């Protein structure tokens, strides 16, 4: 006697995707990431960070250099204009002090602010630096609440930007290192 075959309805069975031959999908592989995968991702992120941080620091330093160079040139032009109009240079002023007679020539907010490398701008009239007296110069010096942090790379960038020299010469051109290792922009030697 033959038994009748039961007909199975597909509506009652759960849907199973048709997978290519040899493809196995276990519950474990779909559960999350393995420790090795996480470690590889962390390694890749740390390598990218190691490459990005120096580049970011270099860009930041170049931006600070540009601001300082621009300030030196603008301020230098204002002092030269004063000298041409008055026939003399303004009197000496300390770091962070607005020079007398420079009203309407210098922006007081920019002159009195802390520079991008620390310290404040300092008008120097007939000041002695390493045995040389300069008639007119602008220095960046430490002031109350504004310590000057010296960075040799920043000073080198300033030397190259102001004097355009291929080799360092901090006693020639317009950019010098003054007494106390302060950056010094020479207007008139």
Yes or no: say if 182 and 141 are a contact pair by the CB < 8 Å rule. yes
pLDDT (tens digit, 9 = 90+) per residue, 145-182?
A: 899 988 888 888 999 999 887 667 767 788 988 888 89
Residues 6+ apart with CB under 8 A from 42: none
Task: For residue 121, tell me if it sits in a domain.
Answer: yes
Which ranges of the chain have pLDDT less than 70? 1-31, 166-167, 170
Task: For residue 93, tell me if it sits in a domain.
Answer: yes
91: domain range?
Answer: 36-188
Task: For residue 22, tell me if it sits in a domain.
Answer: no
Domain count, the chain: 1
Q: Is the pTM of this model over 0.75?
A: no
Angle at 114 (CA atoms; ends 140, 180), nearest 5 degrees: 25
């Amino acid at each position: 006697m033959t038994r009748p075959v039961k007909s199975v309805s597909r509506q009652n069975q759960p849907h199973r995707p048709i997978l290519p031959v040899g493809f196995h999908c276990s519950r474990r592989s779909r559960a999350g990431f393995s420790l090795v995968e996480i470690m590889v991702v962390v390694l890749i992120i740390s390598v990218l960070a190691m490459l990005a941080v120096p580049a970011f620091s270099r860009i930041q330093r170049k931006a600070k250099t540009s601001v300082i160079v621009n300030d030196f040139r603008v301020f230098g032009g204002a002092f030269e204009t004063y000298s041409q109009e008055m026939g003399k240079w303004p009197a000496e002023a300390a770091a962070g002090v607005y020079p007398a007679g420079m009203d309407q020539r210098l922006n007081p907010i920019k002159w009195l602010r802390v520079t991008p490398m620390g310290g404040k701008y300092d008008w120097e009239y007939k000041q002695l630096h390493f045995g040389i007296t300069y008639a007119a110069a602008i220095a960046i010096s430490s002031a109350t609440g504004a310590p000057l942090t010296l960075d040799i790379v920043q000073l080198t960038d300033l030397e190259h930007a102001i004097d355009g020299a291929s080799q360092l010469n901090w006693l020639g051109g317009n950019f010098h290192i003054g007494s106390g290792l302060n950056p010094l922009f020479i207007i008139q030697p």
